[in-house]
Structure 1
Amino acid sequence: MTSVSSVQKSSGVDHLSPYLFHLQALTPSKHNGGELRGGNEENWPILQGQDAAVYVIELEPGGVREPHWHPNAWEINFVVSGSAKWVILGTQQENYTFVAGKGDVVFAPQGFFHYFENASEHEQLCVLVVFNKSSSEPRNDIGIINSISLIPNDVLAALFGVDPNLFHNLPKITTPVTIAKKQ
């Protein structure tokens, strides 16, 4: 049996087998509040045309995965370690809030608004996420920050039934947030 060098593993792709991917060997995308690494059709060629992607999201205490929805994908989330507070809002306004712990699996249906946060003040949270789309994160989701940033203040005021000045200092953010940390 031939061993794989760290150089071969750094891209995630195993050069001895296209079916093996070294997810933890990837350099993570770091954010204030946690990090993300994933295998998708852009970095794991075997997934092209397969409608599949896999990610590991690690959140520090106070870390939050940006509230979002996927117009074209569902996701299955496996809690590897720690505990996650989940919020899922469905297309018929069904609303669920719950905590999932180590070994639990959470399903977020296609089109449902959802997010999770680290439920612990002391422990790291690690979640393995599997999608039925091959595109990279965050290209397959619509985040709440970008969505609200595109809505004019007078429209937000009308929707919330408040004075438009309330939204005057709301920053307009056009880049994906993906992961944040509560203050």
Structure 2
Amino acid sequence: MGKFLATVLCAVLYGSLAAAIPVGDVSASSSASSSIAEAATSTSGGASPSPTVPLASDDPNYWLWNETTTTDPQPERGSLGANILGPQNVAIDKQNPDILAPPTTDQGTVGNAKWPFSLSKQQLNTGGWVRQQNVQQMPIATAMAGVNMRLESGAIRELHWHQTAEWAYVLSGSTQISSVDQLGRNYVATVRQGDLWYFPPGIPHSLQATNDSSEGTEFLLIFPDGNFNDDDTLLLTDWLAHTPKEVIAKNFQDNIADWDDIPGSQLYIFPGVPPPDNQQPPTSPAGEIPQPFSYAFSEITPTQYTGGTAKIADSTTFKVATKIAVAEVTVEPGAMREMHWHPTQSEWGFFLEGTARVTLFAGTAIAQTFDYQPGDISYIPTAYGHYVENTGNTTLKFLEIFNSDVFQDVSLAQWLALTPPALVKQHLQLSDATISRFNRTKGVVVGGPGANVSS
């Protein structure tokens, strides 16, 4: 009985409310609902959406000082920060403006993506020196490690081999390389400044400075393993010093006495007589190595872009180099290596000339900016968005090196230029005119205004 009365009362109230609504209002309500539905349909069809997040700041976030300015380096940017009252290493702060006073676009940390070779321990030998970088110095750099080596004229990096491949870029002078592969084929070549060499894993070789320069030679070595340690190299003298003399004599079918003067420990680097540039290897019954272990990269003409140049060496041109690819890039003052990323491999960078800043974008609103000088190493993990901007008044020159058989990159500008314009417009609120100016080919190195340091 109670349920029946409740039902009757609800029906009466509903009827009263319905009667109280004017016909015009019902029509208006229906019309409004229809308009909302149409609007929703129109928006989904491509109308300009309303902002759902705040707009990006108009602050250009210029670098605040560089090597030519007299600015007192302090952790201040606009109204943010305050000066340092305690001890300060001014020399380091001058080299790192974007660490001391980061752009406001930076957020979070990506790990240390900078290592100066100047901070690596120097191993001094008679005839030269060596220093290295691996994950001990730069934990983020898991895919590659670097070694910087100097040999005086005639000095020899002794016969040795590695468990990984070895790739090299000659920084100064000339280096003569020799090698024998697993089939007994041999190879000798003189590799000059700006040229490359490559030895596959396990292939024995030697390095010797020629006298093309009285200073000898210096080079950069790259190994496709971030854990590589040059101390773990397998050396000829080290092996024989730890092998019974009886075994050595038996192996070479010789008298033990003939081996009385072999070194009792490794030589590593030692003085030697400079070799002639036209040195020829002994004739091998198996012949010479068919794919050269050296590549005259210095003779390759770079491609000119609006802001600088670039040239590439990978397995498509340097056939034997199946583990390492490189781009040599120059950037003029005010220009930049365009915003891009590498889809499959991390980038190990080395700065040869000039100064630069690089912002690494790691996703999830994480971005961090670093500054680089000659002799510095950079590292950018796979697919991290980045650029390389010249922050100085001279030409910037650097290497992009990859643990890969081919060089690959994705250009931000080209991606947007080849995406339907309406889609780009809805993302970025750009005008049709702006979108129409996007370059459908890679800019690679793009020009810009002159030095824009703000102080």
Query: TM-score when scaled to structure 2?
Result: 0.34
* Structure 2 counterpart of 1:66, one-letter code: E
The one-letter code sitting in structure 1 at the alignment partner of 2:432 is: F
Contact 2:353 2:373 in 1 (8 A): yes
Q: Is the 8 A contact 1:79 1:102 kept in 2?
A: yes
Pick aligned residue for 2:445 from 159, 162, 179: 179
Distance 1:77 1:12, change over 3 A: closer
**What corresponds to 1:8 in structure 2?**
none
Rounded Cα–Cα distance in structure 2 between residues aligned with 1:180 and 1:57: 12
User: Normalized per residue, which structure has more helix?
Assistant: 2
Q: Hey, what does 2:293 align to over in structure 1?
A: 19
CA separation in 2, counterparts of 1:69 and 1:28?
21
1:37 matches 2:311:
yes
Map 1:113-128 → 2, pairs under 5 A: 113-120=385-392, 122-128=393-399
The Cα of 1:3 is off from its aligned counterpart by: 7.7
Report the equivalent of 2:406. 135
Residues 89 and 95 in structure 1, CA contact (< 8 A), matched pair in contact too: yes
Aligned counterpart in structure 2 of residue 53 of structure 1, from 325, 341, 350: 325
Against the structure 1 CA distance between its residues 153 and 58, is the aligned structure 2 distance closer, same or farther, given a 3 Å change threshold?
Answer: same
Larger relative contact order (C-alpha < 8 A, sep ≥ 6)? 1
For residue 156 of structure 1, report the CA deviation from its aligned partner. 2.5
Partner of 2:419: 151
Deviation at residue 69 of structure 1 after TM alignment? 0.9
| 1:12 and 1:44 in contact (8 A); partners too | no
Distance in 2 separating the partners of 1:153 and 1:90: 26
> Which residue of structure 1 lines up, in the alignment, with residue 374 of structure 2?
102
Percent of aligned pairs with the same amino acid:
22
Quote the residue 1:93 is aligned against: 365
Mapped contact 1:79–1:127 kept (Cα < 8 A): yes
User: CA-to-partner distance for each residue in 1:121-168, whole Å, 9 max, x for gaps?
Assistant: x211110121112224xxx111011111123333233223x3x6x233
C-alpha distance in structure 1 between counterparts of 2:346 and 2:353, whole Å: 22
Shift of 1:172: 4.3
Using the alignment, how far apart are the partners of 1:79 and 1:172 within structure 2?
29
Q: In 2, Cα distance between the equivalents of 1:3 and 1:169?
A: 52
Relative to total residues, which structure has the larger strand share, 1 or 2? 1
Q: Is the CA contact (8 Å cut-off) linking 1:91 and 1:111 kept in structure 2?
A: no
Q: Identify if the C-alpha distance between structure 1 residues 81 and 158 changes in structure 2 by more than 3 Å, giving closer, same or farther.
A: same
Q: Note the C-alpha offset of 1:26.
A: 1.1
Measured in 1, the distance between the counterparts of 2:335 and 2:438 equals 21
CA distance, structure 2, for counterparts of residue 76 and residue 30 of structure 1: 23
- 1:172 & 1:78 partners in 2: Cα distance? 30
Deviation at 1:12, TM superposition (A): 7.8
CA distance in structure 2 between the aligned counterparts of 1:29 and 1:134, rounded to whole angstroms: 21
CA distance in 2, matches of 1:28, 1:101: 23
Q: What is the SS of the residue equivalent to 1:46?
A: coil
C-alpha separation between the residues in 2 aligned to 1:39 and 1:153? 35
**What pairs up with 1:163-178 in 2 under 5 angstroms?**
166-170=431-435, 171-178=437-444
Q: CA RMSD in A?
A: 2.9
Query: Would the alpha carbon gap of residues 126 and 70 (structure 1) be closer, same or farther in structure 2, given more than 3 Å must change?
Result: same
Task: Tell me how far apart the structure 2 counterparts of residues 86 and 172 of structure 1 sit (CA, whole Å).
Answer: 22
Distance 1:71 1:30, change over 3 A: same
The SS at the match of 2:295 is coil
Whether 1:72 and 2:344 are equivalent positions in the alignment is: yes
C-alpha distance in 2, partners of 1:129/1:169? 30
Offset at 1:46?
Answer: 0.6
Q: Give distance in 1, aligned partners of 2:423 and 2:416.
A: 10
Counterpart-to-counterpart distance in 2, 1:75 and 1:95: 17
Kindly indicate whether the alpha-carbon contact (under 8 Å) linking 1:80 and 1:126 is maintained by their aligned counterparts in 2. yes
The corresponding residue for 2:84 is none
